[in-house]
Amino acid sequence: MEKLLSSIPWGILILACLTIGLAPFHPPHIWEKLQMLLKGNLVRPIDWFDLFMHGTPWFFLLAKIFFSLKSSV
């Protein structure tokens, strides 16, 4: 995982988070899906797909940050 993340440039991850991760922009779709997940309303397959699609860039960005901090310590 760490090798994969190191091969992805920071700019690409940030751009993916700002486009795919936040689209549609008002309100951000990922925010709606996270609220649905916390309330227990995330039941339809399309909702799970949306959470996966919009959440993947954020997951990769957070993982890259984690591994970067881990390797610098």
pLDDT score of 52: 93
Enter the pTM of the model: 0.84
pLDDT score of 27: 82
Separation of alpha carbons 63 and 17, rounded Å? 13
Separation of alpha carbons 1 and 45, rounded Å? 27
Q: What is the mean predicted confidence (pLDDT) over 2-7? A: 87
pLDDT tens per residue, range 5-57: 889 999 999 999 999 888 887 888 888 889 999 999 999 999 999 999 999 99
Separation of alpha carbons 44 and 26, rounded Å? 22
- Helix segments in the chain, DSSP class H: 2-7, 10-19, 29-39, 45-72
pLDDT score of 3: 86
